[in-house]
Amino acid sequence: MGYTQSMTDHSMFINSSEGSFTALLVYVDDIILAGNDKEEIARIKQALNHTFKIKDLGDLRYFLGLEVARSKEGIMVNQMKYALELLTDTSLLACKPASTPIDNHEKISSSGGIPFIDIQAYRRLIGRLMYLTNTRPDITFSVQQLSQFLVKPTISHYTTTIRILRYIKGAPSLGFFFSSNTFAHLKAFCHSDWDTRSDSRQSVTGFSVYLGNSLIS
């Protein structure tokens, strides 16, 4: 139907011509349509409905745990409901918030420490935090550090994970804001430390890419 599969994301299909751009994103039986051509969007929805009998839910508000709010100023994307469910499931909804996701003076290591018995619970918790990093880059480094100990976590690792949850409690609605008043100018920043991983002596690299003032990667 005129759509080309993206080489960088095989779940996304693009229809682009002069002055018209439409993107179709698929996850199992959920679909997001976005673009600047209302006639094309109406055409593809009609074609999909003819084949699959789809249900049009209107403007995007919720998708796979992502909450979307639109205004004249731009688009806000967060995972507040997901974050609150995570705090509820771990009985931390009423906990005292932490000001940072991790103690910068604490050295996380695989050596020493009392083993944490419920390994599966630790893995599930790290997995759920990984999904939250879709809209919370502020916890990405902390989660990345703790995800290296899924085989033999210690009580110290679990305690540090709880600190991340306490940090999330402080502002569960944080997320990305994509401004409608910004310039289409790409900016990229990167940084790395120097072999600070005490176990492997490897460096950790981080990067951020902005479209105007909006963080996109």
Query: pLDDT by residue (tens digit) across 70-102?
Result: 999 999 999 999 999 999 999 999 999 999 998
Cα-only R_g, the chain: 21
Cα–Cα distances in angstroms (integers) from residue 168 to residues 80, 84, 93, in the given order: 10, 9, 10
Q: How confident is the model at residue 43 (pLDDT cuts 50, 70, 90)?
A: very high
Task: Find out whether 24 and 13 touch, Cβ atoms under 8 Å.
Answer: yes
User: Would you say residue 106 has pLDDT above 80?
Assistant: no
pTM: 0.85
- Amino acid identity of 137? P
Task: Find out whether 52 and 46 touch, Cβ atoms under 8 Å.
Answer: no
Interval 117-123 mean pLDDT: 95
Write the pLDDT tens digit of every residue in 139-193: 999 999 999 999 999 999 999 999 999 999 999 999 999 999 888 899 999 998 8
Task: Find out whether 116 and 157 touch, Cβ atoms under 8 Å.
Answer: yes
| Run of H or E residues at 71 | strand 66-71
Task: Find out whether 82 and 172 touch, Cβ atoms under 8 Å.
Answer: no
Q: How confident is the model at residue 198 (pLDDT cuts 50, 70, 90)?
A: low
Beta-bridge partner residues of 166: none
Cα–Cα distances in angstroms (integers) from residue 151 to residues 62, 102, 117, 163, in the given order: 34, 21, 11, 20
Half-sphere exposure of 12 toward its Cβ, with a 13 Å CA cutoff? 12
User: Would you say residue 61 has pLDDT above 70?
Assistant: yes
